[in-house]
Chain A
């Protein structure tokens, strides 16, 4: 098939006679490629042919002689579509300016100094253009032509310069406008087998007919109801529903069932899983530390809700990109749902690369999810296959340059009562503060500084001298601190006799206190006089104000100074005592103050005294009133903080100012090039923004552009995804790659019809589901037939319903449903299957016991990256490390062992047995019948009944249930 190749050539605007550089597999890094030495050396050429002499009359004509060489040999890599090494040869100005290598490529009149000629001539065998693998080198006469052109002055008529805009075009199918055409006409169709029920069927029938493949008949009702339940809910139909559906005479029973299932909340729970795969949603950071994100679940609930409410897909897209300004804060969990490396280092390389990886994740997830384009492939160079420039990748980076990982208040989730109270409390606070200010100004300035001899208290060391006095006891009383309970690392006492601390416990001194901070080995009373400095050997009081610590000397001693500090190692500055008094006593009862903070300059923070310091300057009744009012301020602040804490916060990203984004040469953060403005892909138009466009507007503009009716990709992509999940394969088999390297649509007209109609019908996903589900195409049996298998083994033309094994989540949910233990609790924080050891690096230990909470649907399982559910993880369950547009379906012995022997499964088998006894009855026969109805929606055959009863009689009901939960019929959607 040559279509890929020719498309590719057209995409990049290459002349068709050019040898393609885009052969799949020829993945060559541009520079590697540019620098590669090749065997065909120019020197050999030079020796073989004589160089014709240069004559003035022999003037080179740019249009007829030079331009064709550029077109044939250079533009595929240095033309409109691509500018390898940032060099562009079709625009005169750019051609003369040069690219990444810096030297002037064309020096008028001097070919020897011109890199262009040096490269094409092969002067330097390591640097020859075009490089190996990109087509044959220039012929000797072409090399000579260029030499002469340069030497003659490199004349380049302006009108032969390409225009300055980076024009890029493509005629790859996915970029073309939707064809708004109706379904084809199909004649001579076996309508009795396969009724044409809606337009979908016509498109499918036409292709089947063309390929001489007959369709399969409509499946029986039991198969259909099972298929619909498993597909739409990921759960089994109950026996009553099956019976009712089988017995109804309504001709619209099927359509009614489809409508009913789409309206049930289980639909959102099932289909949200698909979207969360696509957008790599996880609830831990991944990478090295893998910390859990406890409130990331808001985004999961948003997706479930959006699906259940049939939120127009247009809004769904816009909100995920710009929900913060559209009043749906939790939707932006989309942007930050991926892994991010939070290990910090002073190494700038690491920090820059981490940010680049984050931005790449936003760009990749956005472009892959909504557009099915692999834009992130253009991080280091222009896209190898698609019409995507490296510049485009950075233009999208610029759109997201203000996005950061992190939590944000969910403004739209604030309860009304909380909002109102917050407003009131804020007003009250403002007026209380104003009043306080009046008090403050009435007390005048702090005491004149001249009266204060000692320096302001500091965290390291404070000396309080006093006249020599006899003392047995020294007490340090704390009246105020800078924050929290006061910390002292050492209290030292000095006598005039010698300059040694005499307060040490080792000298027989005894320390006591008003109370100590709760058990913490670092902070003990004994540390107050142990002679060891620093926070790790310190004392903390049990209360913020009014506490004391004292030293009892072995005997009465003459003392004259006390030294104290918070942390003499100068690491900590909090918990600093700011108001204090030092008193001495001979008997421990009668005290005499010898020093206090009053003798120090007032304690200021950033040059200001603490807010309530003025209270100390008041006295009497005035002081009491002022204190009471200050307490009111404290209470108001506390309540406002509580209100804030009660409003939900979600891991939905933070938005700062937009950052300057530059194109990075080869994606290297240390090789920034020109500034890139926020924009979308060049080939798809422009957002018309500039580097000054503020942050939220960038995302909003991109969001609007995504869902513009003229965008050819967005609708096609989602329509295809929905098709993929219904049939196990999309009309385009690569749902996140609609590019040249992806698959072609099997039914392009159907894809376009669905996409177009989908938009016409309000971007309604439920409308789309109905079109697909109500078709005869979907209702066919899943029984294989040998004739079509020979021509279309993969069933791409849909001659039957393709059966498949259920995914991990559906298996777990169905097991719980069958055992009767499924906990229907919806939404909110998820359940954790691990105990978490929250060290710097988080460690996860699987739970051994399960409770009701763990029996919720698996969509509510907190999705920890790298740590899979012990039983179901091996069923190709993605961990959110990568975007997964389609799951693998492998079959392994470990899956078998987990379903057979795991504690979880055996427990469920036990519950099922209990259920069969309770709801069925005591005899094996009724138990088997009920079990088959519950698990398979049918009665057992005689042989099955006999076989099952025999097993139960010999080995018990648990054994039978264990087998049932492992059976193919239970685990397959068919």
Chain B
């Protein structure tokens, strides 16, 4: 480990010394942050918690970078169910809840986000044993249930907030507050990307719109903007990617060639200025993206059996078909080496509480009867497809949501309130045990009681699978070495192969 740090320092120095004529712009210094490292502290390198700073080439900031240690996973595909998908009605089977259906929950009835609780309420969906593991999964997510043998479930996740916005922030950035870098931004900051012609980090919003915290979920926070997620989905392309119709290809090319000559003449006056050179390079990357992104977004080359496996041809359920197309896009991005894909299911733009998302406060059955089918077949197909292509070998699939829901119905309503005290997330693919269950909530699914795991632990584990030490992946901001996991987090080793 010590050698690695020394190397990274040497690399950085070497890089400073070797770029072009040996000059570096302030921008680079800025990217490396970094006065503090530059002023010294090399004597403290032996401290195993010292930051490991990625060496970032300003002309190609997303160049593939080595992890801190050999990684199980190369890419991450994170499926985020916006609105707080109920663990009680999907993956967390609670026979005692079924037995005590309609009875008051023992103990003091908690006041939760929207107020008082009614009685315990079993899931409207039946649970069935699945696969060899016999994992009990509800019929709401039948297709995903059938893949239980490929999945590692964590039933004991705990959050820090019971509000959607802060909850999404927490799951996506490690902080309930606004303004912190998203997990995808951290990962691309650390690792860059294998494909330099596509954005390193893509956020795919649901066909129904953006989630509650919107761009916070894929924002750069205080990391350089180059590491933010680029948002587009199968229905709406990257903004400004396409050359305007009224400008011919030939004219566009001539204009950009002229621009390049203009910039190169200017660069001659500032020989070796990396920031100027980086801007020239960014136009070349933009041009490559103009070719590569439409290609990757063009699903017409997908065979009919693949479209139908995902449900992308479902003419009865347009929302499901739309989400299925996003799932296919996600697979294609991962296939092309995009480092981090965040795929959203559920939105707030087109309908609040439960209408377009998993926030089933008042009419859980009615809401989930809409959302279950949109999620289930496409996500199951995505997993199967990744598996049949051998991509699960080095891709980590993460399924998560902002928090769970109560085992009770809200007083005077037929839905469940927010519950950050115990909920489910799951991992599948690279480096993760198959058909495995970690931790548990109490007999009703209210609180995590067996091996409680924080969202920090969840994040630490994901970073670990990517070969990143969550305590050393940091960025100096406003007096603090900021981390995805703040000052918390433990890798959940039990989940690892």
The reply to whether B262 and A967 contact each other, CB–CB distance below 8 Å, is yes
Interface range, B side: 35 or more
The reply to whether A805 and B275 contact each other, CB–CB distance below 8 Å, is yes
Stretch from A181-189, A702-710, A882-890 that touches the partner: A882-890
A794 contact set on B, CB distance < 8 A: 24, 26, 29, 38
A350's partner among B49, B163, B286 (CB-CB below 8 A) is B163
Q: Is A4 an interface residue (CB 8 A)?
A: yes
A901's partner among B24, B44, B215, B240 (CB-CB below 8 A) is B240
The reply to whether A900 and B240 contact each other, CB–CB distance below 8 Å, is yes
Q: Give A737 Cβ to nearest chain B Cβ, in Å.
A: 4
A895's partner among B259, B276, B282 (CB-CB below 8 A) is B282
The chain B residue sitting closest to A346, CB to CB, is B115
CA distance A802 to B25 in the complex (A): 8
B242 contact set on A, CB distance < 8 A: 901
A891 contact set on B, CB distance < 8 A: 27, 58, 61, 226, 275, 278-279, 281-282
The reply to whether A884 and B49 contact each other, CB–CB distance below 8 Å, is no
With contact pairs A350-B161, A894-B230, A897-B238 given, residues A782 and B289 touching in the complex (Cβ less than 8 Å): no
B35 contact set on A, CB distance < 8 A: 733-734, 743
With contact pairs A743-B36, A784-B271 given, residues A882 and B179 touching in the complex (Cβ less than 8 Å): yes
Q: Give B124 Cβ to nearest chain A Cβ, in Å.
A: 25
The reply to whether A784 and B272 contact each other, CB–CB distance below 8 Å, is yes
With contact pairs A347-B112, A357-B177, A368-B478 given, residues A967 and B263 touching in the complex (Cβ less than 8 Å): yes
The reply to whether A24 and B50 contact each other, CB–CB distance below 8 Å, is yes
Q: Is A874 an interface residue (CB 8 A)?
A: yes
Q: Give B330 Cβ to nearest chain A Cβ, in Å.
A: 20
What mask results when residues 849 to 871 of chain A are scored 1 for a CB within 8 Å of chain B, else 0?
A: 00000000000000001111011
Q: Is B165 an interface residue (CB 8 A)?
A: yes
CA distance A955 to B248 in the complex (A): 10
B111's partner among A348, A368, A900 (CB-CB below 8 A) is A348
With contact pairs A339-B178, A891-B279, A892-B282 given, residues A28 and B487 touching in the complex (Cβ less than 8 Å): yes
CA distance A889 to B239 in the complex (A): 21
A2 contact set on B, CB distance < 8 A: 43
Q: Is B14 an interface residue (CB 8 A)?
A: no
The reply to whether A896 and B269 contact each other, CB–CB distance below 8 Å, is no
The reply to whether B112 and A26 contact each other, CB–CB distance below 8 Å, is no
CA distance A941 to B214 in the complex (A): 48
B471 contact set on A, CB distance < 8 A: 25
Q: Is A637 an interface residue (CB 8 A)?
A: no
CA distance A418 to B24 in the complex (A): 60
CA distance A24 to B478 in the complex (A): 15
The chain B residue sitting closest to A837, CB to CB, is B349
* CB-CB contacts below 8 Å: B4-27 with A: 16, 21-27
With contact pairs A23-B44, A733-B35 given, residues A793 and B24 touching in the complex (Cβ less than 8 Å): yes
Q: Give B187 Cβ to nearest chain A Cβ, in Å.
A: 16
Q: Is B295 an interface residue (CB 8 A)?
A: no
Stretch from A210-218, A642-650, A838-846, A918-926 that touches the partner: A838-846
CA distance A963 to B252 in the complex (A): 10
The reply to whether B39 and A1 contact each other, CB–CB distance below 8 Å, is yes
The chain B residue sitting closest to A732, CB to CB, is B35
B352 contact set on A, CB distance < 8 A: 839-841
A737's partner among B31, B162, B238, B478 (CB-CB below 8 A) is B478
Q: Is A43 an interface residue (CB 8 A)?
A: no
B115 contact set on A, CB distance < 8 A: 345-346
Q: Give A357 Cβ to nearest chain B Cβ, in Å.
A: 7
B272 contact set on A, CB distance < 8 A: 784
A28 contact set on B, CB distance < 8 A: 487
B224 contact set on A, CB distance < 8 A: 876, 888-890
Q: Is B107 an interface residue (CB 8 A)?
A: no
What mask results when residues 780 to 794 of chain A are scored 1 for a CB within 8 Å of chain B, else 0?
A: 001110100110011
The reply to whether B478 and A947 contact each other, CB–CB distance below 8 Å, is no
CA distance A947 to B262 in the complex (A): 9
B113 contact set on A, CB distance < 8 A: 345, 347, 350
The reply to whether B487 and A29 contact each other, CB–CB distance below 8 Å, is yes
Question: Which has the most chain A C-beta neighbours within 10 Å: B44, B242, B290?
Answer: B44
What mask results when residues 284 to 314 of chain A are scored 1 for a CB within 8 Å of chain B, else 0?
A: 0011111000000000000000000000000
What mask results when residues 361 to 398 of chain B are scored 1 for a CB within 8 Å of chain A, else 0?
A: 00000000000000000000000000000000000000
What mask results when residues 516 to 529 of chain A are scored 1 for a CB within 8 Å of chain B, else 0?
A: 00000000000000
The chain A residue sitting closest to B222, CB to CB, is A882
CA distance A373 to B116 in the complex (A): 42
The chain A residue sitting closest to B115, CB to CB, is A346
The reply to whether A288 and B27 contact each other, CB–CB distance below 8 Å, is no
The reply to whether A959 and B251 contact each other, CB–CB distance below 8 Å, is yes
Q: Give B387 Cβ to nearest chain A Cβ, in Å.
A: 32
The reply to whether B61 and A24 contact each other, CB–CB distance below 8 Å, is no
A739 contact set on B, CB distance < 8 A: 479
B41 contact set on A, CB distance < 8 A: 1, 4, 24
* CB-CB contacts below 8 Å: B233-270 with A: 238-244, 247, 251, 254-256, 258-259, 261-263, 265-267, 269-270
B164 contact set on A, CB distance < 8 A: 288
CA distance A903 to B251 in the complex (A): 17
B166 contact set on A, CB distance < 8 A: 287-288, 341
The reply to whether A341 and B22 contact each other, CB–CB distance below 8 Å, is no
The reply to whether A784 and B478 contact each other, CB–CB distance below 8 Å, is no
The reply to whether A288 and B225 contact each other, CB–CB distance below 8 Å, is no
With contact pairs A1-B40, A1-B43, A888-B30 given, residues A875 and B240 touching in the complex (Cβ less than 8 Å): no
CA distance A842 to B5 in the complex (A): 46
A784's partner among B23, B178, B256 (CB-CB below 8 A) is B23
A803 contact set on B, CB distance < 8 A: 25, 270, 273, 275
Q: Is B348 an interface residue (CB 8 A)?
A: yes
Q: Is B1 an interface residue (CB 8 A)?
A: no
A-B residue pairs in contact (CB < 8 Å), sample of 23:
A5-B44, A24-B50, A24-B51, A343-B165, A347-B112, A737-B479, A782-B270, A784-B270, A786-B22, A794-B24, A803-B275, A867-B214, A890-B27, A891-B27, A891-B279, A892-B282, A894-B286, A897-B238, A901-B242, A947-B262, A956-B251, A968-B266, A971-B279
Interface residues of chain A, those whose CB is within 8 Å of chain B, are 1-2, 4-5, 23-29, 286-290, 339, 341, 343, 345-350, 353, 357, 368, 373-374, 377, 385, 728-729, 733-734, 736-737, 739, 741-744, 782-784, 786, 789-790, 793-795, 802-805, 839-841, 843, 865-868, 870-871, 874-876, 879, 881-886, 888-898, 900-903, 906, 941, 943-944, 947-948, 951, 954-956, 959-960, 962-964, 966-969, 971-972, 974
The 9 lowest CB-CB distance pairs between A and B, nearest first, are: A288-B165, A881-B179, A1-B40, A374-B479, A737-B479, A882-B179, A890-B224, A25-B49, A881-B178
